[in-house]
Amino acid sequence: MKSPTLRSRPITSLPSPRVPTEIIDRILEFALAFSSSTLHVPDFGSIASVTLASVNFRQIALRQYFHHVTLETRLHWKGLFSLLEVQECDSRYTPSNNMYRSLCASSKILSYNPTRLNYLNNLHTLSIDFAQEGLSTQHPCIKSLLENLELASISLKLTSLTLSNLPRIDVVLLKLIARSFPRLMDLYLSCTERLEFSCCWSCFEDSLGCTIHSPIPDDYFEVSDLASAFACALKPLTCLTHLHLGIFLSDDQLLYAHIAHSLGDEENMGLVDNSGQLEDVRTRELKASIVIAQKLKAIKSIGWSSFFTGMPGPSKPAGDVVGEPVPKNDASSGDCGDNETENSEITKDMKTTIWVLRTNGRVRVRRTPW
């Protein structure tokens, strides 16, 4: 008996299994993460073939690729804007404005054409580096950028804001941020990265003159005055959970006294000669955190820049400070090159975090999580 030929065999067509979109999303996320582990930004080549497979795959791939955007040059900024500017193309192939959730860039790049920020209407995370701004240009630059971000209607969407290498942190800046982004949950502001620790003494002293790194005692006589002023400025941020203020709470003269050590006995350089000053600064950090935590009801952690990170704290508070009872009638709710890398590593370690606990109407703080 003859076996049935190929034509006579019944043809059965089973639909190919459909891979869930969530799995494809995760695969592309891992592919981009792997490529960005060796490069500063994700390599589009790692997912380029996926974008050619189908319309759905292209949408998923582009959404993952543009989820976090890091702008290195003005050319990158121009290229991103050209994608957003195309209105006549088929929407199936054009990246949607909603794809851009996170943006990282320098103030110089964004200031090149700040009106382009109007197109990024779904940002949740924003990080801006102000290393190329000065004391006289900081506020005009920030005001221009924030005004355009407000026009983009992201004021109720942005939950995380990072402003690094700031020349100064003051009440004017804090009020502007609180007014522009009332839904912020994470706010990171820092000045101390600007200080040039990795170069010579002259460069270090020059960087001190261009940065308001220690507002006490010139701007605020007491640490409680500084904390109260900053907390009042941030009070509209009722959702603020994590706050970092990258300034030193030690006296301004501490750094200049450090420079004076270069003229002293080399054998004694690097030795701690005033443990009382260490305890005073560590206590200031706790007291300032108490004041801020009492006014900002949702706050869970407060960070500061500090020279005494990792050193033993004051003996009396035992690393745990209890604040006054919270008033119940308070209506608010809760040559460079390698030197640059070396300096960033130094300043990265010069941070301390205070953790907040609220129990029985009182605010408690300490240096370890509760």
Predicted local confidence at residue 335, as pLDDT: 42
Predicted local confidence at residue 270, as pLDDT: 53
Predicted local confidence at residue 147, as pLDDT: 87
Average pLDDT, the chain: 77
Predicted local confidence at residue 223, as pLDDT: 93
Short-list 284, 259, 172, 264, CA closest to 209: 259
Mean pLDDT along residues 296-315: 78
CA distance 32 to 43: 7
Cβ atoms of 176 and 145 closer than 8 Å: no
Predicted local confidence at residue 251, as pLDDT: 85
Token pair belonging to 211? 């940065």
Give 100 or 282, the one with higher predicted confidence. 282
Q: Please write the tens of the pLDDT for every residue from 114-130.
A: 888 887 888 899 999 99
Predicted local confidence at residue 254, as pLDDT: 74
Least-confidence region, from 18-22, 118-122, 242-246: 18-22
Count of positions (residues) in the chain: 370
* Pairing state between β 301-305 and 68-70: unpaired
- The per-residue DSSP string of 15-61 comes to PPPPPPHHHHHHHHHHHHHHHHTTSSS--GGGTHHHHTT-HHHHHHH
Predicted local confidence at residue 93, as pLDDT: 45
Predicted local confidence at residue 87, as pLDDT: 43
Predicted local confidence at residue 179, as pLDDT: 93
Sign of CA dihedral 68, 74, 76, 79: positive
Long-range CB pairs of 255-263, under 8 A, 24+ apart, other chains included = 255/195, 255/208, 255/213, 255/214, 256/208, 259/201, 259/204, 259/205, 262/201
Q: Which three-class secondary structure string do you get for 287-309? A: HHHHHHHHHCCCCCEEEEECCCC
Does the pTM surpass 0.85? The reply is: no
Token pair belonging to 349? 């370690």
**Domain boundaries, given as residue ranges, for the chain:** 20-65, 68-262+275-366
